[in-house]
Amino acid sequence: QVQLVETGRGLVLAGGSLNLSCKASGVTIRKYNMGWFREAPGKGREFVGATNGLNDFRWYGDSVKGRATISRDDAANTLYLQMNNMQFDDTAAYYCALADYGGSYEIDRIGGYTYWGLGTQVTVSS
């Protein structure tokens, strides 16, 4: 059974940094796309970023571009998200996702992913 578990500090100061991890079990993530999405209250699920399982090319959503860095450690079966200069608008539940293929097709779309973590709440405070 595939499981994705997100971990990281839930409370971040405005202007500070966010560091999240996503540990996969029940599957080897090598060659599969992995991504981060987020969902703020009253809004739809938004693409944050993703890494192509075939070549590790990375995509980022417009709202986080320049502030976010995604990385993966296939040996550790883990995906990471690091974001700088956190803003109040970054407050959301952050979700890790795993596709069952690698490549650029729908890498920034919810429909491109088969498995999802339960999410971890991140709140940006002053």
What is residue 57's predicted lDDT score, i.e. its pLDDT?
Answer: 94
- Coil, helix or strand for 94? strand
What is residue 17's predicted lDDT score, i.e. its pLDDT?
Answer: 98
Assigned token pair, 94: 């952050």
Q: Determine the residue type at 121.
A: Q
What is residue 122's predicted lDDT score, i.e. its pLDDT?
Answer: 98
Percent of the chain with pLDDT over 70: 100
Percent of the chain with pLDDT over 90: 98
What is residue 83's predicted lDDT score, i.e. its pLDDT?
Answer: 98
In terms of Cα–Cα distance, which of 82, 71, 115, 109 is closest to 97?
Answer: 115
User: What confidence tens digit (pLDDT) does each residue in 57-105 have?
Assistant: 999 999 999 999 999 999 999 999 999 999 999 999 999 999 999 999 9
Q: What mean pLDDT value characterizes the chain?
A: 97
What is residue 111's predicted lDDT score, i.e. its pLDDT?
Answer: 97
Residue 39: pLDDT band (50, 70, 90) is very high
Q: Determine the residue type at 9.
A: R
